[in-house]
Amino acid sequence: MATGVSQVSAVIADTTRERLERFARQHGVKKSHLIETAILHHLAALEELPADVVVPPVIELSREVGADLVRRIERPDPPTPAMKALFDGD
């Protein structure tokens, strides 16, 4: 980590703050260290990985797409012959 230090401020969700505090407490790490490590890790991934393989932590769906997703989960389409062959090890 760099030798100079700066302070940053960010507005985060209450649930994120609670998760941060719980993790820091359970693992005995300072929140500032955890935050800096997480930022460095995330930036390294964004710089090194192709953009199409980076999955955002939250995916927003329209009501229509969400309803279709629920339908597909509750009543999945039957497997294709290619899927059957893949899962059967053929």
Q: C-alpha angle with apex 9: 7 to 10, nearest 5 degrees?
A: 145
pLDDT at 50: 94
pLDDT band for position 58 (cuts 50, 70, 90): confident
What's the mean pLDDT when you consider all of the chain? 93
55, 45 in Cβ contact below 8 A?
no
